[in-house]
Amino acid sequence: MQQMIALDLDNTLFNSAKEISPRNERTLKRVHQAGVKVVLCTGRPINAIRNYLDQLELNQAEDYTINFNGGLVTNNQTGEFLFQKGLVKSDLDVLYEFVMAHQLPLDVLDFDKVYEIKTEQKSLYGATVKGIDFTNDDYQDLPAGDKLYSKAVIAVDPAQMAQVKALARDDTQIGQHFTVVQSQPHILEFIPLGLNKAVGLQHLLEHFEMTFADLTAFGDADNDKEMLAAAGDGVVMANGLPAVKAIADHETLSNDEDGVAVYIENKFVTLLQ
């Protein structure tokens, strides 16, 4: 029977130093070589995680990544898209009005670059994401029409995040246009309504003639909840949010204790012998 492992990155596969530990690397390479599909699931574009794909040797013809929280399913070798869903500029208008009203920063991403929108507050997003080009732009100059954007981001000091989340939650226009998820303590993401990592994974599973019963998924944060709930085995990290722990099937050790490797080594012990 085919098996797939889906992995969130920050605070899941990555330790606190934003590294894939030697044990996690070694274990994932072994299950991948044994025929298990290993899929990184992230809000980042593929170019921003290419070094991690190379580290794990996820560069074969049938290796894929879930990018932009499910909005893009990318073949790691060819860069071709198996699935793509995005936003057009008219979708973003209500978000621009929101950030201007509350003097917040805004970054808009297509599938290749980041448009750092000129607003009253400087964004922290540029210090977080590497491997992708940033430009500083007036919102009015963003390409419109059929041009697709993957998501928008508000990146602020973590101490400000609770207030920003409350403002977004209470704004009815935001709720009618976006799925809103917090991916890191300082990052709030606005993605197409109804989109999440499980949506991208469903397209990938169907491509391989697999189902969610064949999926083991690891995560810790709000933007992992849907894939953990859908997976046949949803695994939350010990450092995960309480709301994520409530829906997971199992819990493993923290991201600083090689929790991913520990769980895989126990679950796939026969395969790894």
Burial class (CB in 10 A: 0-12, 13-18, 19+), 75: middle
User: Taking residues 77-101, what's their average pLDDT?
Assistant: 95
Q: Where does 4-84+195-271 sit in CATH, by number?
A: 3.40.50.1000
Percentage of the chain modeled with pLDDT above 90? 87
For residue 43, pLDDT over 70 is answered with yes
Q: Residue 44: its pLDDT value, please?
A: 87
pTM listed for this prediction: 0.85
Cα 246 to the chain's mean position, in Å?
20
Single-letter code of the amino acid located at 83: F
- 96 has a pLDDT exceeding 90: yes
Cβ contact 220:255 at 8 Å: yes
For strands 113-117 and 233-237, give the pairing.
unpaired
pLDDT band at 130 (very low <50, low <70, confident <90, very high): confident
As a whole number of angstroms, the distance between CA 272 and CA 252 comes to: 19
Q: Bigger pLDDT: 111 or 140?
A: 140
Q: Is 23 exposed, middle or buried (0-12, 13-18, 19+ CB in 10 A)?
A: middle
The mean per-residue pLDDT over the stretch 39-44 comes to 94
Q: Is the pLDDT of residue 78 over 80?
A: yes
Distance CA 225, CA 248 (A): 8
Long-range contacts of 164-169 (CB under 8 A, 24+ apart): 164/102, 164/104, 164/188, 167/98, 167/102, 168/98
Over residues 161-171, the pLDDT tens digits come to 999 999 999 99
**Over residues 35-54, mean pLDDT:** 94
- Domain range list for the chain: 4-84+195-271, 89-192
pLDDT in tens, 214-254: 999 999 998 999 999 999 999 999 999 999 999 999 999 99
Segment 63-77, tens digit of pLDDT: 999 999 999 999 999
pLDDT at 1: 67
CA 208 remoteness from chain centre? 21
DSSP 22: H
Q: Round the average pLDDT of the chain to a whole number and report it.
A: 95
CATH 3.30.1240.10 describes domain 89-192: yes
- Tell me the mean pLDDT in the region 42-49: 89
Q: What is the pLDDT of residue 59?
A: 96
